[in-house]
Copies of this chain bind each other. A is one copy, B any other.
Amino acid sequence: MKTYLDCIPCMIRQALDTTRFSTDDEILKREVLEHVMLLLINFVQNDSSDEYPTPPQIGRHIYRIIKEITKCEDPYREIKIKYNRMALNKYSELKSIIENSSDSLLTAIKVAVAGNIIDFGINSGEFDLDSVLKDVLNKSFGICDYDLFQSSLEKAKKILYIGDNAGEIVFDKLLIEEILKRYNLKIYFAVRGKPIINDVTIEDAKQVRMDAVAEIVDSGCDAPGIILELCSKEFLKIYNEAELIISKGQGNYETLDEEDKKNIFFLFRAKCKIVAKHLKVKVNDIILKGGKKEGTC
């Protein structure tokens, strides 16, 4: 998905939020904003509809600026540990909701989407997990390629599940467990190559014991999304060989939505007006969307 002009103010707000997590120094905050605006001026000056950057491509540069100026490598470290713990505390309750539902796979998908609210990039960490859970469990999908997803699962032997945020991964693990209960296949769980916002890293995946259900793989990329040309060979091998890819979260959607890969499914909550408009859904709609080739939308 291209970066729209509306993304610019949002990116500056996100940069300011992360800078505040990184430093209390007012001068450094101003320095970050100066460099981020210079970067964005460069973006508005170069309008090429053929080769546009996606929001995570610009985001990657923004978070590099913040790291370089504030010298803070992982400002959300404590936040990530906290939300992993908070989500782990919900594990049994959610497991029971899934197991007691009439369609446990669909409920597990909804639980995984609800977890997508734990996002410090887009919503500045302002969310109420319990009310989102309640809302999502009772909600219909804005886009729902569920039948296609099930038939793809039946055919798959290897799945790549691309994770999004810390905390949220506990909800992803519940979905992975539900898939493994039904289908005999191997699952790879991809994490970010380096800390960026509260996106999942290898430490987070280990904290929630994701390695008990999936093989953890590092994307090799430090963007808040999957930029294929920056990913490691190891990741790309799995990406190309997997018969089914579950791409979790808006950032991964923004970087992979144009990929000509028939077996990719995007699972997320449309968190901003721009993405909602791009998908012709409402803000906060939940999405299970097949990829470019086979998806119904």
Give residues 19-51 of A contacting B (CB, 8 Å). 26-27, 29-31, 33-34, 37-38, 40-41, 44-45, 47
A6 within 8 A of B: yes
Supplied contacts A6-B16, A30-B44, 20 more A-B pairs, CB within 8 Å: A6-B13, A8-B16, A8-B33, A9-B9, A9-B10, A9-B12, A9-B16, A12-B12, A26-B47, A27-B47, A30-B45, A30-B47, A31-B44, A33-B40, A33-B41, A34-B44, A34-B45, A37-B37, A37-B41, A37-B44
Within the assembled complex, what's the spacing in Å between the Cα atoms of A58 and B15? 21
The reply to whether B27 and A5 contact each other, CB–CB distance below 8 Å, is: no
Which residues of B sit under 8 angstroms from A31, Cβ to Cβ?
Answer: 44
Give residues 133-185 of A contacting B (CB, 8 Å). none
Within the assembled complex, what's the spacing in Å between the Cα atoms of A33 and B31? 19
| Copies per complex of this chain | 2
Measured CB to CB, the nearest residue on chain B to A14 is B9
The reply to whether B5 and A29 contact each other, CB–CB distance below 8 Å, is: yes
Within the assembled complex, what's the spacing in Å between the Cα atoms of A37 and B26? 19
Which residues of B sit under 8 angstroms from A44, Cβ to Cβ?
Answer: 30-31, 33-34, 37
Question: How near does chain B come to A208, taking the closest CB pair, in angstroms?
Answer: 33
Measured CB to CB, the nearest residue on chain B to A11 is B9
Which residues of B sit under 8 angstroms from A29, Cβ to Cβ?
Answer: 5
Within the assembled complex, what's the spacing in Å between the Cα atoms of A102 and B30? 51
Question: How near does chain B come to A133, taking the closest CB pair, in angstroms?
Answer: 25
Within the assembled complex, what's the spacing in Å between the Cα atoms of A13 and B10? 8
Within the assembled complex, what's the spacing in Å between the Cα atoms of A45 and B30? 7
Question: How near does chain B come to A125, taking the closest CB pair, in angstroms?
Answer: 14
Measured CB to CB, the nearest residue on chain B to A16 is B5
Question: How near does chain B come to A217, taking the closest CB pair, in angstroms?
Answer: 35
Q: Which of B16, B26, B41, B47 contacts A38 (CB 8 A)?
A: B41
Question: How near does chain B come to A95, taking the closest CB pair, in angstroms?
Answer: 37
Question: How near does chain B come to A45, taking the closest CB pair, in angstroms?
Answer: 6
Within the assembled complex, what's the spacing in Å between the Cα atoms of A283 and B8? 24
Which residues of B sit under 8 angstroms from A5, Cβ to Cβ?
Answer: 16, 29-30, 33
Measured CB to CB, the nearest residue on chain B to A37 is B37
Measured CB to CB, the nearest residue on chain B to A19 is B5
- Most chain B beta carbons < 10 A, residue from A6, A29, A44, A47: A44
Within the assembled complex, what's the spacing in Å between the Cα atoms of A45 and B9? 19
